[in-house]
């Protein structure tokens, strides 16, 4: 059996207030222990001009003691619209739609 012991999550948030909120939510979550966190202001520049800025929040979480794990943790990364989109949208033909139907 595999036990999840530690994980590092990195988020991009819009500003310092959102970073603080993300950290506070992680601190209050009882499903893991937040052992460390960081919030770093980042900027993207073009020709010396700031064209984008954000805050990178890094959360270091512990779920189990590696030597004596006690809980099985199921990780499920659910995708939302725009997450690894299919570049070519395919329309089903009537034949494919018929093949998808299950008949008993």
- At 54-94, the pLDDT tens digits run 999 999 999 999 999 999 988 887 777 665 555 555 555 55
The label of the residue with tokens 């009537």 reads 94
Q: 95: how many CB neighbours lie within 10 A of its CB?
A: 8
Per-domain boundaries in the chain:
6-73
pLDDT of the residue at 24: 98
Mean pLDDT of the chain: 85
pLDDT tens-digit map of 17-61: 999 999 999 999 999 999 999 999 999 999 999 999 999 999 999
Instruction: Answer yes or no: are the C-beta atoms of 26 and 61 closer than 8 Å.
Output: yes
pLDDT of the residue at 74: 87
Instruction: Answer yes or no: are the C-beta atoms of 60 and 35 closer than 8 Å.
Output: yes
99 — pLDDT class (breaks 50, 70, 90): very low
pTM exceeds 0.85, yes or no:
no
pLDDT of the residue at 37: 98
């Amino acid at each position: 059996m595999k036990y999840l012991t530690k994980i590092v999550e990195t988020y991009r948030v819009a500003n310092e207030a959102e970073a603080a909120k993300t950290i506070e939510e992680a601190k209050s979550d009882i499903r893991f222990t937040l052992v460390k966190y960081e919030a770093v202001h980042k900027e993207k520049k073009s020709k010396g001009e700031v064209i984008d800025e954000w805050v990178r929040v890094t959360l270091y979480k512990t779920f189990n003691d590696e030597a004596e794990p006690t809980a099985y943790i199921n990780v499920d990364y659910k995708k939302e619209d725009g997450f690894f989109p299919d570049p070519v949208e395919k329309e089903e033909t009537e034949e494919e739609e018929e093949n998808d139907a299950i008949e008993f």
